[in-house]
Structure 1
Amino acid sequence: MSTRTVALLGAALLLTACGGGGQIGDSGSSGNTKKMVLIPGVAAEPFYISMECGFREAAKAKGYEVDVQAPTKFDSTLQTPIVTGVLANKPGAVLIAPTDDKAMAGPMKQLKDAGIKVVEVDTKLEDTSIAVSTVSSNNEQGGQLAAQTLAKLAAGKSGSVLVLNTKAGTSTTDARAKGFEDEIKKFPNLKYVGQQYTDNEPDQAASKVTATLAANPDLVGVFATNLNTGEGAATGLRNAGKTGAVNLVGFDASPKQVEDLRAGAVQALIAQDPATIGRTGVEQAIAALEGGSVKRDIETDLVALTKADMDTNQKYFYKQKC
C-alpha cells in the first residue's frame, strides 16, 4: 500500500469520525437544535390544545421553531409511527405525552439515543431514565380531591360510588383512580364499587354507567378520570334520568364539561392547568439544550370547580383553539 493511499484512507477515517459519515440514530443529519416538537396524547382534545397553546407561546418567545403532531386516538400503536417520523428529522427536543407507560418506552428511547432531549408532559413512562424532565399535574392528589369533593356533595348520604377510568397503563388516570380509592375509604357512608375502563370512548362510559346503575341502584356518585369518560358518564346519567340524583365529578374542564357543569349535568370538575404544563415543558427542554439547570419532576396545580365558583376560576377552562 503506497504512502499516498494510506494518507487518503486516514483522511477518510478522520472525516467519518468527525461526522461526515453520520452517526447511528441520527438519520444522516445533524438535526435542528432550534426546533421543538410536541406529541400530545390525542388530537383535537381541549386539554392538549390548551397545552399546545402554552407550548407554542413559550417556544416561539425563545426563538424556537415548533411543530405539533398528535395521534387520532390515545393509542400507542398510533403514537409510535409519529415518534419514528419525528426521529428522522431530529429536532432538538421532543415534548411528549406517552400513551402507554410501557409500550412507548422503546420509541422514546430511540429519541434519547439520537441525542434528542425528551420531556414528558402530562403522562409519563415507568422507565425514568429516558426523559430529562416530567411535567404533570399531581394526579394522585387530584383523585383525592375528587373523593373529598364527592363526599361533600353526598352530604352524609349513604350509597355506592364508581370510578370510570380510561385505559389501563395510562399513568395519569391510574394515579387519579388510586388517589380516589385511597381517600374514599375515609368516608364510611360511601361504598366503593371499584373502577371500570372505558377505552377512552364516551359511549363506553355511558353504557358502563347504565350497567352500574342497574347493578347498584343505590349509586350516589361517579368519578370520571378524564374528559371523555366524564362526557360519556354525563350522557349515561342523562339517559337514565339520574342527572343530579347521582353526583358526577369529572376531571378536566373542556368546553363541553364546563357547559355541563353550568347546566347541572356535572356537579364538580377537577381542573388541571395544561397551558402551564406546556410552558414549563418548554422551559425544561431549553434548559437541557442550553446547559441550564433541569428539574427532573415538576407538578402543577389542580382545582375543584363547582357551579358556585366556576366563573371566578375561568383561567382553568380549556381551549378549543389557540
Structure 2
Amino acid sequence: MKLSKSLLAAGSAFAVAALVAACGGGQVGGSGDGGAASTPDNKKITLIPGVQAEPFYISMQCGAQAEAQKLGYTVDTQAPQKFDAAMQTEKVNALGSAPPAGLLIAPTDDTAMQAPIEQVKNRGTKIVEVDTSLKNTGVAVSSISSNNAEGGKLAAQTLAKLVGDKKGSVLVLDTIAGTSTTNARAQGFADELKNHPNLKSVGAQFTQNEPDQAASKVTAALASTPDLIGIFATNLNTGEGAATGLRNAGKIGQVNLVGFDASPSEIEGLRKGEYQGLIAQDPASIGQQGVQQAVAAITGKPTTRNITAGLHSITKADMDANAQYFYKQQC
C-alpha cells in the first residue's frame, strides 16, 4: 500500500520526537543539561566500578559512601561480574529508567564505553571518571585516578632497587588492550626500565585480566628466558597469576615479582615472600574525591577536570609502616 507524502512526513516527525524524548532531550554527545536526573530532590549517586568483589574497588566504594553520607547523598554500587565492556554497558544501560544525579564510573574500555555513558549524561546525570577514563575528555566533568605512568615508573625503580647490580630479563604482564590504567602502567615501566642497563625488557604480554592466563605466560617465559629476573604485574589478577606461575615452577623468591595495588591477598603474598614489592594506590581517596566532584557538578559549583591520587612503593621491609594503604574487603 502506498502512503501519501503528508502521512509519511507526519510519521517521520512523530518518530523523531519519540526518539528525542527517549534520549532525555539530547543526542549522544549533547550537553545533558536539564535532563531527567537533574531534579533538586535527586540525591542518588551510582558507582559502577570495573568489576565486583575486587578490594581496590571495595575500598573506593567505602570512601565514596562515607563522603556521600557527609554531603547528604547516597551511593548505590552496581558492579559487573568481570572487567568487560559488554557487562559494564548492561549496568550503565539499566540506569536509563531512573538516572542518578551523579555517576562515578571506571570505564572498562576507553572507547567502547563512551556511547553508553553519554546516553546517561544526556539524561542530566553528571559523570565522574574514577580510576580509568575515556579517550574523549569531553564526557566527564572530572577524572580522578592515580598517575598510572608514574606508578609504572615507580614499579621499575622498586624492581631495580630489589635487583641491585644483577643482570637479567624482565617481563611485563598487562591486562587488556584499551584499558587506560594498566596500559599506562606498562608504558611507564618500560620507559623507566631503559634507565637501568642491567635490566632487559622482554616486552609486555596481555592476560585478558585472567589469573590463569597470567600464570601460563609466566610458565612460558621461564622456559624461554633462563635469565628472567623480574616480573611487573600491572594489577591484582595478573599479580596473583604470576605468583601462581612462579610457585608452580619453584621460582618463588628467585624471580622478583612487583605487583600493582595492595589487596589483602597481595599483602599476604608480600609477607610470605611471593611478592617482593607492591605499588599501592589510594582508592578510598579516589572514591571520596569522586563524590565531591559529582556533588559540586550537581549543585552547580566548579569542578576540577583532572585529579591525581597518591602512589606508594611497599616492600616487606617497610610494609607495617605503610599499613594505612592496604585495601579493604568490606566497608
TM-score by length of 1: 0.91
| Residues 1-322 of structure 1 mapped to structure 2, 5 A cutoff | 23-26=21-24, 33-322=42-331
SS at match of 1:315: helix
1:166 deviates by: 0.6
1:67 deviates by: 0.6
Rounded to whole Å, the distance in 2 between the matches of 1:291 and 1:105 is 24
Rounded to whole Å, the distance in 1 between the matches of 2:96 and 2:54 is 24
Q: Is the 8 A contact 1:160 1:219 kept in 2?
A: yes
For the structure 1 residues 42 and 240, does the alpha-carbon distance in structure 2 shift closer, same or farther, using more than 3 Å as the test? same
Structure 1 residues 9-52: Cα deviation after superposition (integer angstroms, max 9, x where no partner): xxxxxxxxxxxxx9442399556631100000000000000000
Rounded to whole Å, the distance in 2 between the matches of 1:54 and 1:237 is 34
Rounded to whole Å, the distance in 2 between the matches of 1:287 and 1:269 is 34
Amino acid at match of 2:76: D
Rounded to whole Å, the distance in 1 between the matches of 2:53 and 2:281 is 17
Q: Is the 8 A contact 2:236 2:261 kept in 1?
A: yes
Rounded to whole Å, the distance in 2 between the matches of 1:58 and 1:313 is 23
Rounded to whole Å, the distance in 2 between the matches of 1:90 and 1:26 is 10
SS at match of 2:246: helix
For the structure 1 residues 272 and 192, does the alpha-carbon distance in structure 2 shift closer, same or farther, using more than 3 Å as the test? same
Where do 5+ consecutive residues of structure 1 fail to align? 1-21
Q: Is the 8 A contact 1:137 1:299 kept in 2?
A: yes
Q: Is the 8 A contact 1:26 1:88 kept in 2?
A: no
Q: Is the 8 A contact 1:234 1:266 kept in 2?
A: yes
Q: How many residues align?
A: 301
1:258 deviates by: 0.1
1:65 deviates by: 2.2
Amino acid at match of 1:263: K
For the structure 1 residues 91 and 185, does the alpha-carbon distance in structure 2 shift closer, same or farther, using more than 3 Å as the test? same
Rounded to whole Å, the distance in 2 between the matches of 1:90 and 1:71 is 18
1:87 deviates by: 2.6
Q: Is the 8 A contact 2:63 2:286 kept in 1?
A: yes
Rounded to whole Å, the distance in 2 between the matches of 1:56 and 1:138 is 23
Amino acid at match of 2:143: T
Rounded to whole Å, the distance in 1 between the matches of 2:199 and 2:170 is 7
SS at match of 1:70: coil
Structure 1 residues 70-127: Cα deviation after superposition (integer angstroms, max 9, x where no partner): 0000000000011011132111000000000010000011111111100000000001
Rounded to whole Å, the distance in 1 between the matches of 2:226 and 2:96 is 52
TM-score by length of 2: 0.89
1:308 deviates by: 0.7
SS at match of 1:86: coil
Rounded to whole Å, the distance in 1 between the matches of 2:191 and 2:147 is 15
SS at match of 2:230: strand
Alignment RMSD, CA only? 1.4
SS at match of 1:88: coil
Rounded to whole Å, the distance in 2 between the matches of 1:175 and 1:200 is 15
Q: Is the 8 A contact 2:59 2:328 kept in 1?
A: yes
Amino acid at match of 1:143: G
Amino acid at match of 1:81: E
Amino acid at match of 1:25: C
Q: Is the 8 A contact 1:24 1:114 kept in 2?
A: no
Amino acid at match of 1:110: Q
